[in-house]
Structure 1
């Protein structure tokens, strides 16, 4: 059987739905998410992106051919040169200064997710790490598309519209589809036992993404 990324999602359908349709996401689309919850999420996401870059640096080291090495290098360069800069600029729009970002303590949900991804890469190979990273890269693109197509989503006068637009942008959607293509090519060659191992990695990463959304809501609830 030739496996694909869709098979990973289908094997974790309940968790994937809970991630994609999390209350944090629904409130974001409706424009009803508490601003402080979003600011806290943005700050923790800044830390996550840094570890995301470290993961791709590890992928460069783990690469066994030029195609994988180049793909990991291009991703790392895009994160360092573009994504982090855009994120910092976006944080400023929300009143989060460079000084704020420089002295951020990591939330336990951030630590759990980022260290899991790095551990998956250290223990396994490049495919293990890409599978652990996929819920973020692919999931955010799917969330933006879902919100954009949902008639209940508020776009005009929604303070989070720029966030949705960021992930439905041509650049991000292209990166998402490139990642899915890369995964499909590798997954097609794995046997049943290896696929089940990858399902376990993917499921754990999706659950950690759920915790990352929940983190913002719980922080808000505890600081009202």
Structure 2
């Protein structure tokens, strides 16, 4: 069994919980309160700023030029591609990125990013990959589910660009590249290291759930 398959089996119950979360279902149904979505976008934008820094630490701690290039491209993807959907929605809400950056991170946002940054500072490139991966992979898991479930009713859904962005082939390829990367770097690790990496992956997945809980308040 590939290590990515082991990781997925560890968190499937948690991730399936995302799919049933009222906030996520509200996006799919198009019924989510726009004020909640606005607050979510603000916090997620602030999250992505620190998320990109974790990738940057991955680049610093990468062991090969191939890994360095991989992290470099991923940083660009976060800063350019993933924030693009956020920026467009924020414009709809009358907010510039400069205004968003003046907001304070909520406790859950700060706790999650501090956890990832702590892993990035103390750990190696494998540890960093584990704390990064649940966000990227689970957002595709969610986006794909929402698109397949609600694709016949997206025409008038305010959240269609969000769903389509995370369900897109481009995002799927991004997630798959990370899955392949994990399987490559973790193929010969010890059982002790496997347990450590699984723990990081699970904790980041739990933080993702807390982020959805925060967004729904």
Task: Provide TM-score, normalisation by structure 1.
Answer: 0.90
The alignment yields a C-alpha RMSD, in angstroms, of 1.8
**Corresponding residue of 1:69:** 68
Please give the alpha-carbon distance, in whole angstroms, between the structure 2 residues aligned to 1:17 and 1:168.
16
Please give the alpha-carbon distance, in whole angstroms, between the structure 1 residues aligned to 2:108 and 2:53.
18
Q: Does 1:116 align with 2:115?
A: yes
Instruction: Describe the superposition over 1:134-157 as per-residue Cα deviations: whole angstroms up to 9, x where unpaired.
Output: 111011111111111125974121
**Corresponding residue of 1:171:** 170
**Structure 1 contact 19–207 (Cα < 8 Å) conserved:** no
Instruction: Describe the superposition over 1:119-174 as per-residue Cα deviations: whole angstroms up to 9, x where unpaired.
Output: 11212111111111111101111111111112597412111111001111222111
Please give the alpha-carbon distance, in whole angstroms, between the structure 2 residues aligned to 1:164 and 1:86.
10
Larger relative contact order (CA 8 Å, sep ≥ 6): 1
Task: Provide TM-score, normalisation by structure 2.
Answer: 0.92
**Corresponding residue of 2:211:** 212
1:150 counterpart SS class: helix
Q: Which runs of 4+ in 1 moved over 6 A?
A: none
Q: Does 1:60 align with 2:59?
A: yes
Q: Does 1:94 align with 2:93?
A: yes
**Structure 2 contact 85–161 (Cα < 8 Å) conserved:** no
Greater mean deviation of Cα atoms: 83-92 or 108-117: 83-92
**Corresponding residue of 2:45:** 46
Unpaired runs of 5+ in structure 2? none
**Corresponding residue of 2:195:** 196
1:77–1:192 CA distance, 2 compared to 1 (3 A): same
